[in-house]
Amino acid sequence: MQASDTDAPQWPMIIGGKKVEAQSGKRFDIINPATGLAYCSVPEGDAADIDIAVDAAKKGFDIWSKMSALQRASILMKAADILQERLADFVDAEVLQTGRPIREMRAQLARTPEWYSYFASVARTYESKVHPFGGDHVNYGRRLALGVVGLVTPWNHPLLILTKKLAPALAAGNAVVVKPSEVAPITPLMLADVFSEAGLPEGVYNVVTGFGAGAGAALTAHRDIAKIDLTGGTETGRKVAALAGERLIPFSGELGGKASVIVFDDVSVDRAAAATLFASFVAAGQTCVQGARLLVHESIHDAVLEKLIARANALVVGAPDDESTQMGPVVSDRQLATVEKYVAIGKDEGARLVAGGERLSGEGRDGGYFYAPTIFADVSNDMRIAQEEIFGPVVCVMKFSTEAEAVALANGTDFGLAASVWSSNIARAKRVAEDIEAGIVWINDHHRIDPSSPWGGFKDSGIGKENGIVCYEGYTRMQSIVLNTSEEPFDWFAEDGKQKRYS
C-alpha cells in the first residue's frame, strides 16, 4: 500500500548499515492511533529483503563476534549514553506510534539505556567455568555467540521489548535481524543511528519492516538464523516454535497473558483501587502483564469495586501528547474492534458492566481509537472475558473467600506470565506467591521490571527468559574444552599390562 500523503516522512529500512528501500519498492502507512491518520510510511519488506539482511548480518557477525568482550562492552556503553541523550526524540516517536500518554513513555523509556549498560557489564565480567573433571585433565567451558539471531517484536512496547532482546544478544556477540511490528516500527529504525554513532560494525543491527505473513514468516523460517526470539500471541508462538524445532535452533517466546491481581482483606480500599487502576489501565491495558483479573476478598469486595469504579470513571482519556492525559487510545482500529467484541461477549455471558463499555469521541478524540476504562463485575472464572486475552482497558472483578480459593482462581487459566499479591501479611503473601503458576509474581506491586530480573512465563505464556544472566546465556552456546596435562604416553591398545582409563 502506497502512503496516501506524499509529504509524510518516508522511513527507510536498515540493512548492512545502509538505509534502503524494499526490493519490491512497496511501502505502507503508519497510523497515529490518536487521530486515525497516516503520519509516515515505511518499506514493505518481504523474503527477498530478509535474505539480503541475513547475508549482511552474517558479515557483521564475523567482525562483531571476534571482538573482545571489553570492546563490545565499550560500544554498548556508548550506545547507552547516546540513547540517554536522545530519549526525548524516542519518547515523541513512541507516543505518536503507540498512542500511549507522554508521561507513561517518559517513565518507561527513561530506563531503557540501563539494559545496554547492564549487559555491557555482563559481557565484561562474565566468568568461564572450570569443571571438576579429575585426574590430569582440566575442563573449562566457553560461551560462544550463536550467530545471526532473528528478533520479532510487538507494537505495545516497541523500544523496551526490542531492547530486552537486543542488549543481551549483542553483548553475547551475535548479529541481529529485527522484524518490528508493522504498527509501530519507527523507534527500532531510529535505534540504528544510535548504534552507528556508538561504533557498532555495519551489518550487526538490521531492521526489515513489513508484515508478519511476508517479512516475519521469511525471517522465522530462514535457514541461516541461529535463534528466534519473539514477543507476540500464543498461537503465533506455537507456529514459530515448531519451525525452530524442525531446524533444531533455540526459540524464546514471550506470549499471551491474563494476569491476576489478588487483594486480601488486610489491604486498604484506597490502596487496592490504586493498585488495580495501574495494573489494569496503564498502556490502555495493552500489555501482556495487564492486571486483567482482579480477585478481591469477599469482605472488602464491594468497597474496592465501588472505589475502583469511581477512580476509573475519573481517568483522563485523551490526546497522548497532552501532559494531563492519563490513558490514551488503543493502538489500532483492529484492536478497538477486538475490545468491542469482548465487551459484547461479557454482556452476553451475564457479567455486569459497571464502568465504561463504550467508545469515546469528542474533546480531541474524534478519529482516534479511544475506549473508556471498562470494568465487569459478577464475573465467573469460566467466562471468556476471564480466560481470553483482550489486550485492552477491560478488567474482570471476582471475589474469593479463602487463600486456597484465591490461588485456585489465579491458576485457573491457560496463561502463566504474571500475577501480583497484595497483603500486609508478608508470610501469607510469600506463601501465595510461591503457589501461583506464573513466571513473574509481584508482592505489593505490579508491572515492575529491571534488566537483572528474569522475565518470562509458564504454560501458554511462553518459553525462555528475558533479562538477567539466564537471558545472556540463552544467546550463547556452550563449548566444553578438555585438556590433558599429563606428558605420560598413552596407548589404549598396547598390551603392556597397565590399567587404562577409558573415560
Catalytic positions, please? 165, 254, 288, 466
Helix (H) or strand (E) holding 158: helix 158-171
| H, E, C per residue of 230-298 | EECCHHHHHHHHHHHHHHCCCEEEECCCCCEEEECCCCCHHHHHHHHHHHHHHHHHCCCCCCCEEEEEC
- Using DSSP, state whether 455 is helix, strand or coil: strand
End-to-end CA distance of the chain: 64
Half-sphere exposure at residue 313, Cβ-oriented, CA atoms within 13 angstroms: 9
Let me know the angle formed at the C-alpha of 73 by 180 and 477, rounded to the nearest 5 degrees. Answer: 70
Long-range contacts of 359-365 (CB under 8 A, 24+ apart): 360/317, 363/318, 364/318, 364/319, 364/322, 365/34, 365/317, 365/318, 365/319, 365/329
Sequence-distant (≥ 6) Cβ neighbours of residue 346 within 8 angstroms: 353, 376, 379, 383, 384, 385, 394, 396
β-strands 260-263, 293-297 pairing = parallel
CA proximity to 378, closest of 395, 398, 349: 398
Cα–Cα dist 151/168, whole Å: 12
β-strands 27-32, 37-43 pairing = antiparallel
C-beta neighbour count of 478 within 10 angstroms: 11
Cα–Cα dist 110/105, whole Å: 8
